[in-house]
């Protein structure tokens, strides 16, 4: 009975969020002079097919062949000054641009948080550390957001990142390698810090080495400088909950503030679309955590 009532409440809340008109202020290229190593295949497209799986009864976008990465800024009507740069997932092959992107911006805006949605380059053959283009795009997304703090009425010291699946891997990599510099990188490019002030990883992938799943993957490399981090995954996630378990323990040993949530059921790739499962309550958990770490002010 309780879960039925919760599910109805969530469906109503999601319907309300979906009906909110979110004003996109501006879309900027991540690389105004062109991406350093652009995708040279087919044109950018949404390859969603009628046979693709549905989430909460709805299809999701499958954007691919992204050669000109962008950052779309969505201002919150009741601006708290807090901003989250969002990185959709998709295995570094596609971007679930609505499920794990625009819909997330709608939710963030509803709680007074500005959203900057990153459309980073995909597909890539290898992710960081073998290929650094994903990290470079993530650094640029945070730098551009921070550069526009005055213009967009943001607090430059309350800019965090949120990523799903491969995007969850990317925000973790960024949080640990925010000061990465490629050979020959202009000094002006790194004049603005790419370090996020907080990190949210929702069902992140690639954090542990397969098949043992007991040690962090190459390139994860947390340190005492890693920002406060929120992690969430389901035990039945085919990507494996060890991603968050092992990474959380590494953060704990380094005394990095971290919060971990593991649910029995949920699978993978659910975004924030409501279901009867408790895991779909995660947006409320993130909001509470942002109050707890004093990004959104005192705990309510």
pLDDT at 173 (0 to 100):
98
Question: Could you give the strand order of the β-sheet that contains 159-164, starting from the edge strand earlier in sequence?
Answer: 26-29, 70-74, 114-119, 83-87, 159-164, 199-202, 229-234, 258-263
Of residues 140 and 184, the one with the higher pLDDT is: 140
Domain that holds residue 94: 2-292
Average per-residue pLDDT in the chain? 91
Q: How many domains does the chain have?
A: 1
**Interval 63-90 mean pLDDT:** 96
CA dihedral sign of residues 276, 279, 281, 283 = negative
pLDDT tens string 168-219: 999 999 999 999 998 888 888 889 999 999 999 999 999 999 999 999 999 9
Q: What angle do CA 130, 135, 141 make, to 5 degrees?
A: 165
Residue 14 has pLDDT above 80, yes or no: no
pTM of the model: 0.91
Domain membership of residue 228 (yes or no) is yes
Domain membership of residue 84 (yes or no) is yes
Domain membership of residue 297 (yes or no) is no
Task: Identify the CATH number of the domain in which residue 117 sits.
Answer: 3.40.50.1820
Check: CB of residue 174 under 8 Å from CB of residue 97.
no
């Amino acid at each position: 009975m309780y879960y039925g009532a919760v599910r109805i409440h969530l469906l109503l809340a999601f319907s309300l969020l979906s009906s909110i008109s979110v004003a996109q202020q501006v879309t900027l290229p991540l690389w105004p002079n062109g991406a350093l190593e652009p995708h040279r295949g087919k044109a950018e497209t949404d390859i969603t097919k009628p046979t693709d799986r549905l989430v909460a009864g709805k299809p999701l976008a499958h954007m691919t062949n992204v050669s000109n990465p962008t950052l779309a800024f969505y201002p919150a009507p009741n601006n708290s000054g807090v901003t989250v740069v969002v990185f959709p997932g998709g295995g570094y092959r596609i971007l679930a641009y609505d499920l794990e992107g625009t819909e997330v911006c709608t939710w963030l805006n509803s709680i007074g948080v500005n959203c900057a949605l990153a459309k980073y380059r995909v597909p890539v053959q290898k992710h960081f550390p073998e290929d650094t283009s994903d990290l470079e795009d993530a650094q640029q997304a945070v730098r551009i957001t921070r550069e526009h703090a005055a213009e967009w009425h943001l607090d430059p010291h309350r800019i965090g990142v949120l990523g799903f699946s491969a995007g969850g891997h990317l925000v973790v990599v960024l949080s640990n390698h925010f000061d990465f510099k490629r050979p020959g990188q202009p000094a002006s490019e790194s004049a603005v810090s790419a370090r996020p002030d907080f990190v949210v990883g929702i069902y992140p992938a690639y954090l542990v080495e397969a098949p043992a799943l007991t040690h962090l993957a190459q390139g994860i490399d947390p340190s005492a400088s890693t920002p406060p981090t929120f992690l969430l995954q389901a035990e039945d996630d085919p990507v494996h909950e060890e991603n968050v378990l092992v990474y959380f323990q590494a953060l704990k040993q380094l005394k990095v503030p971290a919060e971990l949530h593991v649910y029995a059921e949920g699978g993978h790739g659910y975004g924030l679309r409501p279901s009867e499962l408790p895991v779909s309550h995660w947006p409320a958990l993130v909001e509470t955590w942002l109050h707890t770490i004093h990004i959104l002010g005192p705990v309510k």
